[in-house]
């Protein structure tokens, strides 16, 4: 099955703070996934990169093959 959302080795830094560090996963079409973690773990930063509000420093994000 082809992944609807693909996150490959994504990282994001803000000055000296590593907000997201080398995150990779795929979400197949029709699947439901959750991103969980404590406050400050980088969940919002990850979602902002998926939405295109932030640009990853490293890695790639693709949705529906684009």
pTM of the model: 0.91
Q: Give the pLDDT of residue 66.
A: 77
Report DSSP letters for 7-51, one per residue.
EEEEEEEETTEEEEEEEEEEEETT--------TTSSHHHHHHHHH
Give the pLDDT band (50/70/90) at residue 1. low
> In CATH, what class is 3-63?
alpha beta
CA distance 40 to 32: 23
Q: Of 22, 34, 31, nearest to 60 (Cα)?
A: 22
The residue ranking higher by pLDDT, 6 or 2, is 6
């Amino acid at each position: 099955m082809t992944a609807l959302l693909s996150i490959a080795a994504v990282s994001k830094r803000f000055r000296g703070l590593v907000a997201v560090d080398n995150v990779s996963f795929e979400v197949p079409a029709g699947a439901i996934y959750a991103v969980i973690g404590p406050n400050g773990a980088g969940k919002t930063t990850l979602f902002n990169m998926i939405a295109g509000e932030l640009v990853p420093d490293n890695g790639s994000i693709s949705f529906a093959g684009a």
